[in-house]
Amino acid sequence: MAFFNHIMVVLTIFVVVLLPATTIATEYVVGDGSGWTIDYDYQAWAKNKHFKVGDTLVFKYQQGEHNVYKVNASSFASCTVPTPGT
Ligand SMILES: *[C@@H]1O[C@H](CO)[C@@H](O)[C@H](O)[C@H]1NC(C)=O
């Protein structure tokens, strides 16, 4: 009986140690099959996802058609890319 208890303890340690390791880094393709585009509800896409430090967000788009910058609403509307250092 002690042998089986020992196995249970080892299994429990395995689960506790290994489970967080498998959940450290997740890769998300933003917009899934739609990719990074306009007229897509990214808030709905992100709503039930729990992003963590170390996760990767992949933005898939046609080069020259889109880009990835953090801008405010007016810069977004005028498609103004922020210039570094200004
Ligand atoms: C939006 O960002 C641009 C560029 O940084 C800035 O010039 C402009 O004043 C900002 N507009 C608002 C409403 O914050």
pLDDT at 24: 78
CA of 75 relative to ligand 1 center, distance in Å: 6
Give the N- to C-terminal CA distance of the chain in Å, as an integer.
71
pLDDT of residue 84: 80
One digit per residue, the tens of pLDDT, for the chain of length 86 reads 666 666 666 666 555 665 555 667 999 999 999 999 999 999 999 999 999 999 999 999 999 889 999 999 999 999 899 988 75
Q: CA 10, CA 16: separation in Å to the nearest integer?
A: 10
Predicted TM-score of the model (pTM): 0.63
Would you state the pLDDT for residue 3? Answer: 64
Identify the CA nearest to 25 among candidates 69, 68, 58, 70: 58
Collapsing DSSP to helix, strand or coil, 70 comes out as: coil
What residue's CA is closest to ligand 1, atom 7?
75
> Which position has the token pair 């890769």?
27
Helix %, strand %, coil % for the chain, to 5? 40, 10, 50
| pLDDT given for residue 68 in this prediction | 93
Say how many Å lie between the CA of residue 28 and the centre of ligand 1: 29
Taken in order of first residue, the domains within the chain and their CATH numbers are 25-86 (2.60.40.420)
